Amino acid sequence: MNRHLVLPGPDVGRLLLDRLVAEGVRYGRDFALVRISVPIGTAEVVAPLLSACLRDADVVVRWEADELLALLPATDRAGAERAAQRLREAVDVEMAVGAAHWVGDTAHDLLARSEPRPR
């Protein structure tokens, strides 16, 4: 029942994202991500609440000081959009959210496609 939550810094997020891309390329595994931009200073409070509304296989990591990533293995485009909606509804904090499904592109392109958008 305890969800995966990692907040130490963006290096861990980069490592996990790169691993998902590598597994996608090598094994054809589907995945998606949701970028969440939160008010500065709220990531430590918001992240556990966001993590609690995701599956056990999903991981929430810090990407930047005010940005989190929800990494969603074995998730298609529709699943990414559903997860993004659950995350929007999980907390009563003004945040911007963007979702993208991996389609064989680079981590950089995937992140660009998931640029957070306000509600």
**pLDDT digit string, tens, across residues 90-118:** 999 999 999 999 999 999 999 999 999 88
Using CA atoms, how far apart are residues 44 and 75, in angstroms rounded to an integer? Answer: 25
Contact, 84 vs 114, CB < 8 A?
no
Rg over CA atoms, the chain: 13
Across the chain, what does the average pLDDT equal?
A: 89
Percent of the chain exceeding pLDDT 70 equals 92
Domains and CATH numbers, the chain: 4-118 (3.30.70.270)
Contact, 83 vs 70, CB < 8 A?
yes
Average pLDDT for residues 21-50, to the nearest whole number?
Answer: 93
Using CA atoms, how far apart are residues 108 and 53, in angstroms rounded to an integer? Answer: 26
DSSP 15-52: HHHHHHHHHHHHH---EEEEEEE--TT-HHHHHHHHHH
> Which residue type occupies 28?
G
Residue 2 clears pLDDT 60, i.e. is over it: no
* Helix/strand/coil percent split, the chain, to 5: 40, 25, 35
pTM: 0.88
